[in-house]
Amino acid sequence: MKSNNKNIKIDGIDKKILKFLMNDARTPILEIARNIGISGAAIHQRLRKLESSGLMTGSKFIVNPKILGYTTMAYIGIFLDKAMSNPSAVKELEKIPEVLECHYTTGNWSILIKVLCKDNEHLMQLLNKKIQQIEGVSRTETFISLNQQINRQITI
């Protein structure tokens, strides 16, 4: 059962467990237990507590997009003609596989999205044929990422 408590209390042992798993989610429980100095059963119990609190929400493998030929990462600020266009625009953006993230924002844009494309030509086609064709989109502003300098999770 999920907890509604947004401010869960974690101790030093919980932090050590989380650091191991954030570094490599496939780290065996018994290896974590040996390194921390407690039993595997205690690790399992703490993990169940952390999951039921909502602090941990699963694990995933990360696919290297460059191996699949995706080399152009861009951020696109989307200007909508009306605020009421937000929900329908997001529904349309969800249909576009290249859209990795979508955020409502403050400031000039209504929406900021992160996209991954094979190259600049692919990005241009995505903009012209899909994103700018969405009803309610008045214009876009695109920023191409040259190189990601930092990629991390929150510090525990």
Going from N- to C-terminal start, the domains of the chain cover 12-52, 65-145
CATH 3.30.70.920 fits 65-145, yes or no: yes
- The average pLDDT across 84-98 equals 94
pLDDT tens per residue across span 17-34: 999 999 999 999 999 999
CA 75, chain centre distance (Å): 14
Q: Which CATH number, 3.40.50.11540, 3.40.1390.10, 1.10.10.10, 1.10.1040.10, labels domain 12-52?
A: 1.10.10.10
Q: If DSSP codes are grouped into helix, strand and coil, which group holds residue 121?
A: helix
Q: In what order do the strands lie in the sheet with 72-80?
A: 99-104, 111-117, 72-80, 137-145
Closest CA to 155 of 7, 23, 1, 5: 23
Predicted pLDDT of residue 37 = 96
Q: How much is the mean pLDDT over the chain?
A: 93
> Who's near 19: CB < 8 A, 6+ residues apart?
156
pTM, 2 dp: 0.83
Q: Given 3-state DSSP classes, what are the helix, strand and coil percentages for the chain, each rounded to the nearest 5? A: 40, 20, 40
Q: How confident is the model at residue 2 (pLDDT cuts 50, 70, 90)?
A: very low
Predicted pLDDT of residue 6 = 66
Distances in Å between the alpha carbon of 139 and those of 31, 79, 122? 52, 5, 18
Q: How confident is the model at residue 1 (pLDDT cuts 50, 70, 90)?
A: very low
- The average pLDDT across 51-80 equals 93
99/97 Cα distance (integer angstroms) = 5
Percentage of residues in the chain with pLDDT exceeding 70?
A: 96
Check pLDDT > 90 for residue 41. Answer: yes
Predicted pLDDT of residue 62 = 87
Check pLDDT > 80 for residue 3. Answer: no
